[in-house]
Amino acid sequence: MAFNLNCEGTAYRATPEVVDRQRHARYALAVGAAKALSDHFARPLACFAAVYLLWPVVPQLFSDPEVGLDVEHLLHAEQEFGFERPIAFEESITPEGRISQAERRRGMVFLEFQCSGCDDSGKVAARSRSLFVVREA
């Protein structure tokens, strides 16, 4: 499957994700931010946005035959998160992702993927930017 350089602007949307306290506790334990599942957090860890913002839409990107991304040779090169306001446990965030840049250089594909998460009022509460690099065979 050949990569489609004309994929910029392709967008994906997922169903709302609840920022679940129990799921966060397991995540915090797994990444070493907690010593026990009972550890209390006032707010979700910033990196937990990968769970409710990024990963609901990334599988759509990776499996999109119109994009033709060679996932077997993909490197997750960069990741950043930004927040318009603090995120609260038990609120719903609706994630959307969009390919913001796609280019080929020196036998590699560079794909930038931006996500935004809207709250129940439709306002953007969180954002992410990812850079994926694929070495072409």
Q: What pLDDT, in 10s, does the model give residues 24-39?
A: 999 999 999 999 989 9
φ, ψ dihedrals at 107, nearest 5°: 75, 15
| Strand ranges inside 1-137, DSSP E | 11-13, 17-18, 74-83, 92-105, 108-118, 124-135
**Stretch 3-24: mean pLDDT:** 96
**Averaged pLDDT for residues 89-96:** 98
pLDDT band of residue 1 (cuts 50, 70, 90) is: low
Report the greatest alpha carbon distance in the chain.
Answer: 49
Mean pLDDT, range 44-56, rounded to an integer: 95
Indicate the domain borders of the chain: 10-19+53-135
**Model pLDDT for residues 62-88, shown as the tens digit of each residue:** 999 999 999 999 999 999 999 999 999
With a CB cutoff of 8 Å and minimum separation 6, the contacts of 72 are none
Within 10 Å of residue 44's Cβ, how many Cβ atoms?
23
* Residues whose CB falls within 8 Å of the CB of residue 103, separated by 6 or more in sequence, listed in order: 5, 109, 110
- CATH class of domain segment(s) 10-19+53-135: alpha beta
